[in-house]
DNA sequence: TTTCTTATTTAAACAACGCTAAGATAGCGC
DNA sequence: GCGCTATCTTAGCGTTGTTTAAATAAGAAA
């Protein structure tokens, strides 16, 4: 807030502690895992006292909300390649699914935080669901261009939800070590993801 | 503590504290939620000191493992109706899916513990995957009797995994309040579940 | 400048947590 | 009786999330 125009004249004691805390939390998440992500550890990583975060976040869960928000933005970046690819609509649905699961596979602890926040509030994240550019809307549109009946609102929504469920389920299960042999047989995790999604109706045929 | 000499002859100090702790944990899970399920609270609920559980479980996660085990057994009971129903194989796959998600919807905190245990060990629960009676095998068999090629081992396994992913994803997302209007439009959560699963290829057509 | 006001941070403390170590107690075999 | 072992308790350690009060620094007003 209120960042001034010189290189580093910190307008307040720390500068932008809120931002620093979120970044420290992300750093710890990659380094130590979700298990050991305590508010005190975040404050320690940012070089401030344990009580400092409370001037920028109501409580720990609000810090995690901010981390999750950062996560959904990173996921959006991971989507870009699939979004811009010049491929058929059904293929694009599947590539969105692959990008989603691959992101979760590469940042498991961040994904866990992202999803736990949603679950605790019994809410889909705003990024995913609400605005016009959201992945939810995008899947919906691709389903239509792949042949779904645009007037059957209910069926369309059910199909979109089925997409998300399959992607989320796969995202959380892909690390199970029971699947290692199958991944090897298919030549890697990427092929495994594509293989599973190919068996989910909405991903396979566009409806 | 130490209720007076009741009919039952307690062979040790408490009788079967291990069992009592698991039951106390399940009770707390229904009453207070997963958030407030601490080891100390479980001990309190069971009427013993905070250190007592450590003679029956190595640490907290081992207690949760036992609770999760209990959970998978309860889920197996919830499966029975769908298993024994006299319906076509594709219908049975879907009914298994509905039973799975409905269980998670009715016992959200227990389901969370069940799944967190699996994720922390990067392992499918043994009940689900290993033995001959497992739901995993059962889905597999039903897929075959519904027309899947029994010789294509890889495709069969991918389809079975797709089933689990969709069911798990729906299990975790069904409580999102964004879906309330849709549930109302369809006449209840049960219809909503069936509607979503109908859009997942493996549930809809058996392959 | 000096003073006042407010935003930010710290230090100190509280209750609760997971867990460990030491000792007390109860059941069992001898 | 004796010892032995499993079980449970009391006490304590280090950590956590959170609150309170005091210190400090920045901006505005005099």
User: Could you read off the pLDDT of B132-182 as tens digits, one per residue?
Assistant: 777 788 888 888 887 888 999 999 999 999 989 999 999 999 999 999 999
What pLDDT score does A205 carry? 53
User: Could you read off the pLDDT of A19-64 as tens digits, one per residue?
Assistant: 999 999 999 999 999 999 999 999 999 999 999 999 999 999 999 9
Which range among A24-38, A49-63, A112-126, A135-149 shows the weakest confidence by mean pLDDT? A135-149
Number of residues assigned to chain A: 207
Which range among A124-128, B26-30, B46-50, B186-190 shows the weakest confidence by mean pLDDT? A124-128
Name the more confident of B140 and A182. A182
Which range among B43-52, B62-71, B122-131, B176-185 shows the weakest confidence by mean pLDDT? B122-131
CA–CA separation, B157 and A179 (whole Å):
10
Name the more confident of B129 and A152. A152
What is chain B's mean pLDDT, rounded? 88
Whether any strand C atom is under 7 angstroms from the Cβ of A35: the reply reads no
CA–CA separation, A101 and A8 (whole Å):
39
Task: Report all structural domains of chain B as residue ranges with CATH numbers, in order of start.
Answer: 1-57 (1.10.10), 58-205 (1.10.357)
- Summarize the confidence of residues B175-200 as an average pLDDT: 94
CA–CA separation, B41 and B47 (whole Å):
10
Residue corresponding to tokens 């209007």:
B181
- B158 lies within 8 A of chain A by CB: yes
Q: Which of A135, A160, A169 to mutate to test the interface with B (most CBs of B within 10 A)?
A: A169
| Portion 108-127 of B in contact with A at CB < 8 A | 115, 118-119, 122-124
Residue A203 has pLDDT above 70, yes or no: no
Dihedral sign of CA atoms A133, A137, A138, A141 in order: negative
For residue B129 the two structure tokens come to: 């995957």
Residue A1 has pLDDT above 80, yes or no: no
Closest approach of A202 to chain B, Cα-based (Å): 6
CA–CA separation, A141 and A123 (whole Å):
22
What pLDDT score does A202 carry? 66
Q: Give yes or no for a contact between A170 and A197, defined as CB atoms under 8 angstroms apart.
A: yes
Residues from chain B contacting residue A178 (CB–CB below 8 Å): 123-124, 129
Residues from chain A contacting residue B118 (CB–CB below 8 Å): 176
- A134 lies within 8 A of chain B by CB: no
What pLDDT score does A56 carry? 96
Residue A201 has pLDDT above 90, yes or no: no
Name the more confident of A197 and B14. A197
Dihedral sign of CA atoms B34, B40, B42, B44 in order: negative
**What 8-state DSSP symbol labels residue A177?**
G
User: Could you read off the pLDDT of A2-12 as tens digits, one per residue?
Assistant: 333 333 333 45
Cα-based angle A38, A41, A46 (whole degrees, multiple of 5) = 130
């Amino acid at each position: 807030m209120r960042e001034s125009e010189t290189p580093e004249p910190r307008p307040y004691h720390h500068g932008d502690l809120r931002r620093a805390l979120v970044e420290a939390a992300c750093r710890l998440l990659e380094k130590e895992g979700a298990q050991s992500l305590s508010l005190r550890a975040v404050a320690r990583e940012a070089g401030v006292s344990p009580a400092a975060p409370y001037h920028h976040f109501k409580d720990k869960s609000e810090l995690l909300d901010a981390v999750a928000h950062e996560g959904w933005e990173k996921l959006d970046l991971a989507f870009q390649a699939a979004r811009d690819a010049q491929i058929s609509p059904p293929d694009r649905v599947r590539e969105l699914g692959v990008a989603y699961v691959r992101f979760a596979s590469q940042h498991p602890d961040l994904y866990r935080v992202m999803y736990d926040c949603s679950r605790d509030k019994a809410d889909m994240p705003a990024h995913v669901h609400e605005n016009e550019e959201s992945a939810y809307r995008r899947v919906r549109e691709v389903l239509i261009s792949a042949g779904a009946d645009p007037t059957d609102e209910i069926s369309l929504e059910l199909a979109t939800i089925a997409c998300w469920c399959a992607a989320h389920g796969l995202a959380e299960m892909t690390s199970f070590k029971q699947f290692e042999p199958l991944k090897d047989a298919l030549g890697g995790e990427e092929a495994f993801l594509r293989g599973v999604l190919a068996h989910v109706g909405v991903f396979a045929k566009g409806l």
